[in-house]
Structures are given as structure tokens and as C-alpha cells.
Structure 1
Amino acid sequence: MKRLSGTVLGGLVLASAACVAVPGPALAASVPAGIQGLDVSSHQPSVSWPSVYGAGGRFAYVKATESVTYRNPYFATQYQGARQAGLIRGAYHFALPHKSGGAAQADYFVKNGGGWTADGWTLPGALDIEFNPYQSSNGLDTCYDLSPAQMVSWIRSFSDRYLALTGRRPTIYTNTYWWQTCTGGSAAFGDHPLWIARYASSAGTLPSGWTRHTIWQYASSGTFPGDQNVFNGTAAQLKQLATGQSTGAVTPAPAAKAETRVSLVNTGPDRIKRGRKMTLVGTLSQYTATGTRTGAAKQRVTIRFRPRGSAAWRTAGTATTTATGTFRKTFTAGKDGSWQAVYAGDSKRLATRSATGYVDVR
């Protein structure tokens, strides 16, 4: 994983490098209290996982992939070794947003070890999104020459595809400076577990959208091989994150009405042939004041379409959510354009709408 201390499609998903030199100390002044863990890549080809467990390590993230061309050759040994030693583990993907779309990189990640199962030993896959480490060779800036809006769209595309493939939102690994710079301080991902990187005596100010971190990477070396991390919670809460009983994220307290969020994914291929059927699938969720999520049952969701070149949205259809808050609607692909799910709200719930995404019809 790159050193961060100091140093497709918005809500619609179409169905090892050198370290960055950064200022500041490489080690935190002391080991923070909490559940200790580590992350490793091909830079740590031989890890004694029983020794890690004996030294107090209880969780690990292992690099699986980068872009859509690189696979960690030691991933299987590292990933299985961590599990056999008794650690809860997960996989992470290093994003190169200029290489391909977010959905394509999520596909590659899941295909090469980044999936999730509710076995109690697997953490949700992590998206490592940070400073461009190849500036000297690719000539792109620290944000890969993407605008904040483009970066947010890329991250959303990755997240939505990962959700569609695994049923979980990915953990997001980043640091505050990069996030505020390259996403424009987007607050749209607060429902994702945050893995904050900061080599200092505290996790510091968090990126916009989060009021609490799930994991803190606090040093590049120490007790364990690789980077040093601490989980912000109890052993039971770590287990809940692995089983899916907890998202690891903090949802902001609602206003007078319950906060709701709607997501929308498309089970069709990236490019859809004209006349082909495509099914839009989504979830309408509501949150209590303590951040507990439940599905918003028996609610009407409107699905809108905006043809390419038009500024006007039109209603394409409606769907009613199930007992778990899910909904689906099948359409015939006719024109290129953007899709969105809209919930009007009611006396108990706030109105909301999904991010928009473009469908390429050929």
C-alpha cells in the first residue's frame, strides 16, 4: 500500500509500485490502543502469520490487484496464511483511475480475490485511492488529471459495482489532504467504512462525509510486517464488520424525519445492444438517529431517464420496495442516456435520489 501519511458511473453500475515520499515521521510516537492489524503487499512476500498473531495482530488487509493488469503474486499465500493463523482478513485494490473505469477495476478486483463472504473472517474489500505514484512516468498530476466531479464519479462507479457483485460497500482507504483536493471534499461516501492514513499521534481531521474512522493506518513499520493499523472498535465490532452485521461507517443523525438513501444498479452489460432487456436493481435504506440501517419497505420509487443531449428528465417507470427495501424494474434499451432512482419521501422519511449514470446503447 502506498504511504499516505501527511503523506460507470455515479449510482448506476453497468450489470506494485514505489512508495510516495512524504513529510513527517514514518512511525507514530507510540502504538495506539485498540485492535491491532497490518496491511501487506508483494513487498512482504514472506510473512510469519503465527508470529503476527502471537504479537497481537488480529486483522490484515492484503493487496490483491492494481488497475486491471496487476495481481499480487503472493496474494493467495498471504491471504490464506492470515486466515489460518486466526486473523480476520480482507483484500485491497490499488486504484489507477486514468487506466479504466471504476466498474472495470471492481470487476477485476473481485475476480482476483477481492470478493466478500459473510463467514465472519472476511472484511469488505478496500479501495486504495490516493496520490498518483507514477507522476514521473505518466506525467499526470496527483489526482490523475481527473476533475473532482470525475473522481467522485469514478469512486462511485467502483463502489456500486462492488456492491452489486458482493452485497457490501467497499472500505475506502485515503487521507484527508488527497480526498479534499481530488474529490473536492465530497461528502457522498460516509456510508462506507473509512480507512484513514496518517502517521502521527492521532487520526486527525477526517475527510468530508465521515465523522468516525473504522481503521487508522498510523505507521509504515513497527511490530508487524508492512504497515501498522488499528481498528477503531472492539473485537466484537470487528467481527460484526466481517459478518456484515455492521457497515463500519457512521451515518449522520437524521433530521426530524428518518434519513433515507437510494442506490441503483443495472444488471446489464457495460454496453447494451438496442432492444435488449436491462434490469435496474436498487435499495432504499433508512437510518435511525444511532445510524442503524433498515430497508424501507413498501415504498414507491420512481425511475427516471434523460436521453443524451436533453436537459429534461422523464419518468420511465415506478417500482415498489420489498420488505428488505430492494426494488427492480426491467426496461428495453432504446437510447443512450442517464438513469436515476428518486424517492419522494413521506411523513416519516426524507426524500432522496440516487446518483446518475450513463447507459451506452449500441
Structure 2
Amino acid sequence: MVAGLNVIVDISHHNGNVRFDKLAEAGIVGVIQKASQGQSNRDPTYDSNRSKAKDEGLLWGAYHFATGSDGVRQAQHFLDVIGDFRDTLLVLDFEPNPTGPSMGLEEARAFVTHINDVTGRYPGFYSGHYIKQLLGTNKDAILAECWFWLAQYGPTPVVPLNWPTWTMWQYTDGAFGPEPHKVEGVRFDRDKFNGELDQLKRLWGVEEAVA
């Protein structure tokens, strides 16, 4: 199994009633939740889960599920749902949309550029086979500004040429991929961080992280 700090889960409303106290007790440090989708949809559990996770001292992140529509409008909707973004790790979820058109590369560039213009930092870029299919052996200078979150349920991470390595790796969806899958008996998408805890906090923008 590839080394990495195995302390992150990602969730959405599909996870139901998440026990954040149990996550903290099991050593989970960060939670990344779906906040929005497209230009108008929002995850109904986002606000309540954010509050509960922070009460347990967990780092909080948010991702936007991309669709095939205006990238700037999607980015602004994402920011509107999040509100205060200063202590929230931001991510674009770039994968095929099973219910409609999928986001293309130009829309993705517009999305991440708008996030950077507003917040002063590029979001993470979550993808797997989809970005490998679209880019092939090519590189994209704008998307390369984002840190890369690989989605691949196998024993070895394979990173597109656009990034030198993975920053996070979603190695299981709770069913497929290497163990462990569960936290306190409940299946989660689980993610490794390619570094140490102080580096994870620095990525998150936590003030007490050491230089």
C-alpha cells in the first residue's frame, strides 16, 4: 500500500447522518463535503454538517460537482453556498456528469480562475479517468496551478502528466479499492494526503501550521 497520511474522508448528503464525533475519535483530521452542483443546486446537509464537524475540531473542506455549463457562474454559486471561505479547503470535482452534460476543459479553466480571482488561491482539482481522457499526454498550464486530488480505486496511484504528483488520493469509495474502507464500522470515501500533518494544515491554510 502506498504511503500517505490516511486521515481524510469526503462526504455528501448520500452519507446520511454522519457521526463526526466518531470520525474524530478514529483519528480523522479533515472532512471534505459536497457543497454545490451546477449553477443552482446545493447539498442540503452542507451547513449543518459544517457546524457539527467544526464542533469536533475537524478541518473542513468543500467541493463543487461540475456540470457542462458556464464555469464562472458555477464558481460563483459554489462561493455563495460556502460563504466564509477562509478556513475551508476548496475543490472542483471534475468527473463525468451522469445526469446531463459534463464540464469541459474551458469551463474548468474559467471555474478555477474565478476561484483564484476571488479567494487568492486556486482550488484543488479532483479527477481520475476523465481528466486523463481529455488531456492525454498534453498539459494545461491553468489547471496545473491547482493541487491534484486523484480518484483511483486501485493499489497504485497513476497521475496525469499535468501534475508532478498527487496531493490527495481517493483510494476507495467505501467498497472498491484497498483497505481500510470503514471508520467505526461505516463506509466512507477515504483519502490519503501525500505528506505530513503540518503540510496538510498548511494546505488547508490553518494558521498554526509551521513553515
Query: TM-score, normalization: structure 2?
Result: 0.85
How far apart, in 2, do the equivalents of 1:31 and 1:116 lie?
A: 31
Residue 60 (structure 2) aligns with: 89
Deviation at 1:115, TM superposition (A): 5.3
Matches within 5 A, 1:19-34: 33-34=4-5
Question: Which position in structure 2 is the counterpart of 1:283?
Answer: none
Runs of at least 4 residues off by over 3 Å: 30-33, 183-187
Could you tell me which runs of 5 or more consecutive residues in structure 2 were left unpaired when the two chains were aligned.
175-180
Aligned pairs (5 A) from 1:128-167: 128-134=93-99, 138=100, 144=102, 151-167=104-120
Structure 2 residue 139 is matched with structure 1 residue 182: no
Please tell me whether the aligned partners of residues 35 and 232 of structure 1 are also in contact (alpha carbons under 8 angstroms).
Answer: no
8 Å CA contact 1:214–1:232 kept in 2: the answer is yes
Partner of 2:149 in structure 1?
A: 195
The within-5 A match list for 1:234-313 is 234-243=196-205
Which residue matches 1:214? 167
Separation in structure 1 between the aligned mates of residue 65 and residue 126 of structure 2, nearest angstrom: 9
Q: 1:38 to 1:31 in 2, by over 3 A?
A: farther
Q: Given the alignment, which residue of 74, 78, 101 partners 1:109?
A: 78
Shift of 1:65: 0.3
Q: Which amino acid aligns with 1:105?
A: Q
Q: Which has the larger radius of gyration?
A: 1
| Contact 1:62–1:90 under 8 Å retained in 2 | yes
Paired letter, 1:201? P
CA contact (8 A) 1:196 1:215 kept: yes
Out of 49, 57, 60, the residue aligned to residue 78 of structure 1 is 49
Deviation at 1:154, TM superposition (A): 1.1
Q: CA deviation at 1:190?
A: 2.1
CA distance in 2, matches of 1:244, 1:172: 20
Between structures 1 and 2, the one with greater helix share? 2
Shift of 1:66: 0.4
Q: C-alpha distance in 1, partners of 2:55/2:192? A: 21
State the distance in 1 between where 2:201 and 2:150 align: 20
| Partner of residue 227, structure 1 | 189
Higher strand share: 1
Instruction: Please say if residues 187 and 208 of structure 1, whose CA atoms lie closer than 8 Å, have aligned partners that are also in contact.
Output: no
The question of whether the paired residues in 1 share the 8 Å contact of 2:4 and 2:193 is answered with no
1:258-312 deviations in Å (ceiling 9; x for gaps): xxxxxxxxxxxxxxxxxxxxxxxxxxxxxxxxxxxxxxxxxxxxxxxxxxxxxxx
Matched, 1:66 2:42: no
How many residues in Structure 1 have an aligned counterpart in Structure 2?
196
Return closer, same or farther for 1:232/1:33 CA change in 2, 3 Å cut-off. Answer: closer
Supply the distance in 2 between the matched residues of 1:57 and 1:82 (Cα, whole angstroms).
11
> Once the 2 structures are TM-superposed, how far is the Cα of residue 152 of structure 1 from its aligned partner?
2.3
Matches within 5 A, 1:316-355: none
Task: State the alpha-carbon separation in 1 of the partners of residues 173 and 2 from structure 2.
Answer: 12
Work out the percentage of aligned pairs sharing the same amino acid. Answer: 31
Report how far residue 209 of structure 1 moved: 1.3
TM-score of the two chains, using structure 1 as the length reference? 0.51
* RMSD of Structure 2 on Structure 1 (CA): 2.1
Q: Could you say if the C-alpha distance between residues 182 and 39 of structure 1 is closer, same or farther in structure 2, counting changes exceeding 3 Å?
A: same
- Kindly tell me: are residues 86 and 235 of structure 1, through their superposed partners in 2, closer, same or farther at Cα, counting changes over 3 Å? same
> What does the per-residue CA deviation read over 1:96-143, in whole Å, with 9 as the maximum and x for residues that have no partner?
02xx210000000000016521x4xx32x1000112312xxx4x5xxx
**d(CA) in 2 for partners of 1:153, 1:217:** 25
Alpha-carbon deviation of 1:244?
A: 7.5
- Are 1:127 and 2:115 matched, yes or no? no
